[in-house]
Amino acid sequence: MSAVEYEVVIGLEVHAQLLTESKAFCACANRYGDPPNTHVCPVCLGLPGSLPVLNAGAVERAVRAALAFGCEVHRESVFARKNYFYPDLPKGYQISQYERPLATGGAVPIEVQGEVRAVRLTRIHMEEDAGKNLHGADGLSRVDFNRAGTPLVEIVSEPDMRSAEEAMAYLRSLRQVLRWLDVCDGNMEEGSLRCDINVSIRPRGESRLGTRAEVKNVNSIRFVGKTIQFEVERQAALLARGEGVRQETRTFDSAKGETVFMRAKEKADDYRYFPEPDLPPLRLEEAFVGRVAETVRELPLAMARRLQEELGLSPYDAGVLTAERDVAAFFSAAVQAAGPARAKKVANWMMGEVLRRLNEEGRPLSEAKMTPPLLAELVVLADGGQVTGPAAKRVFDEVWKGGERPEAVLDRLGLRPVSDDAAIDAAIRAAFARHPEELARLRGGEEKLLGFFMGQAMRETRGKGDPKTLNARIRALLAGD
C-alpha cells in the first residue's frame, strides 16, 4: 500500500517598505534604527483633526515595481480603511487599498534548476506600515511609532509555486528587482521586506485547492524554506490521521524550526473595509506613468541573459555580475572601456578581486576608490603583456587603496616587466647557480623542472619577468650553454 502523494501549493504575500525620504501620508522621516518615537507627528499618530497627504515619491516607487513585473497599472485606484485594534496601530485602522488596487496581473520570473518560468501576480497595492511593539525585560511593553505610516507595497502572488525551492527563488527574484530599482532595500532582518506564506497540500492530480494555513512575517529566505517544509509535513500528518487542515494563521518559531498556531483565519468582513474619506482616489496621468516607465529599463534576469549572449559569459558569472545593480553597472562600464573582447578578463577581476574585497570590507561599491576606467586600464595593460600576473595583483592592490592610475603605479613601484635579455639571463643564471641539483635533473630530461626554474627566475626579477621571455631564455641558455 502506498501513501497518498501530495502536491504542495504556495502563494506569497510580500510587504516591501518603499525607499522614500518621508512617510506615506506625512512629512516625518522614513528611517530605521533611530530612537523610539523621534519620527512622529499628529498624522502618523492619528491625532484628531489631522489629515493625510499622499507622498508622490511612494506612488512613483510603487508604480515602478508594478511596471517592472508587467502589471496593469490602473489609472485610478482607491485607498480604504482596514479597521482593527492593535496597540501599534494608533488610528485604529490602516490605510490600504482593497477593492481597487494600484495594479493587477503581471508576473515574477523565477529560475529553478536552470529553467525560467513565471509566477503570476494577483495584485500590487499600496498601504502604510504599523508601529512596533517592544516587549521589555522589565515586563512592560512599549510602542515605537517611528515605523507607523511608512509606505509599503503589498505584492500578492497567485498560488503558483509548487515547492519550497520555488518559493525561495520567487523571493530572491522579487527582492533582486526591488533593490535593482531602488524601490526597497530588501533587508529582511530589519523588516523592510516581509513575507506571509500561504501553504496547502492536495492529492496529486486534484484540481481544487486544499485548505491553506497562512504563516505570518517570516523574516529570512532560509526560514521561508523551513516554514514550508514544516507546514507540508504537519498538514500531511493531519490528513493521514483523517483530520482536516483548518484555515488558520500561524507564526514561525525560528528557534524550534516549527510553525505555531496564532489565531483562526480572519475574514475580509472582520476588517470592515470602507473607502478612506480623507483621501481622494489616486489618479495617475499617462505622462507620469510614461516617465516612471523610462526608469524601468533592463531588469537583472534580462541583463544576465544578454551578458551570456553578447559577451560569452557563463550563466554563473552572468548571475553573479547582475546580482546587484551597482556591480552590474560597474562591470558594464569597465567592459565598455576595456573592449568587449576583454569581457571575460574583466569578469574575472570583478569576481576574483573586486567582490571579494567588498565582502571583506563590508562596504558598497560606490565607496570604492577603484573605478571602471581604472580596472579597464589594468586589464588592458595585463592583456598586452605590459604587466605580469603577479605584478598585476600588486597594482590592483595599490589602485584599490589609493585610486591611483595603474600606469602610475607601475612606474612608481618599478613594476614594468623586465624583458631585456641581459637582465632575464642574469636572473636565470642566478637561479641555475642556486639549484645545481635541479639543473642537472632538468638537463637529464626532467621537463617539469622547467616550471620550477620559471618560478625561481621570476622571483629573481621580483615578479616582473615577462613569462614568455623567461621561458624562451631558459631554453636558450640550456641549449647554448
Does 248 participate in binding ligand ADP (rule CB under 6 A)? no
Residue for grid cell 475574514: 267
Q: Which does 449 bind (CB under 5 to 8 A by kind): Mg ion, ligand ADP, Zn ion, none?
A: none
Q: Which of 68, 15, 25, 63 is nearest to 45 (CA)?
A: 25
Instruction: Tell me what percent of the chain is helix, strand and coil, each rounded to the nearest 5.
Output: 40, 20, 35
Q: Which residue has the cell 576606467?
A: 373
Quick one: which of 9, 41, 45, 293 contacts ligand ADP (CB under 6 A)? 9
CB of 48 to Zn ion, least distance (A): 15
Q: Which helix (H) or strand (E) holds 116?
A: strand 115-128
Residue 13 is a binding residue for ligand ADP (CB under 6 A): yes
φ and ψ at residue 445, rounded to 5 degrees: 105, 5
Quick one: which of 11, 186, 300, 417 contacts ligand ADP (CB under 6 A)? 11
CB 150 within 8 A of CB 41: no
With CB cut-offs between 5 and 8 Å by kind, which of Mg ion, Zn ion, ligand ADP, none does residue 44 bind?
Answer: Zn ion
Q: Is position 198 an interface residue for ligand ADP (rule: CB under 6 A)? A: yes
In this structure, are residues 184 and 24 in contact, taking their beta carbons and an 8 Å threshold? no
Q: Please name the residue that has the C-alpha cell 508576473.
A: 107
Q: Angle at CA 384, nearest 5°, toward 379 and 390?
A: 65
Asked if 209 touches ligand ADP (CB under 6 A), the answer is: yes
By beta-carbon proximity to ligand ADP, the closer residue of 157 and 469 is 157
Cα gap 429→124, rounded to integer Å: 73
- Partner whose footprint covers residue 12, from Mg ion, ligand ADP, Zn ion, none (CB < 5 to 8 Å by kind): ligand ADP
Site track for Mg ion across 9-48, x = CB under 5 A: ----x-----------------------------------
Which residue of 12, 95, 148, 375 would you call a contact of ligand ADP, by CB under 6 A? 12
Q: Does 125 bind ligand ADP (CB under 6 A)?
A: no
What's the full length of the chain, in residues?
A: 481
* Of 49, 44, 34, residue with least CA distance to 88: 44
Other CB atoms within 10 Å distance of the CB of residue 129: 25
The nearest distance, CB 4 to Mg ion, in angstroms, is 27
Q: Residue 158 interacts with ligand ADP (CB under 6 A)?
A: yes
28 touches which of Mg ion, ligand ADP, Zn ion, none (CB within 5 to 8 A by kind)?
Zn ion
- Contacting residues toward ligand ADP, per CB under 6 A: 9-13, 156-159, 198-200, 209-210, 212, 214
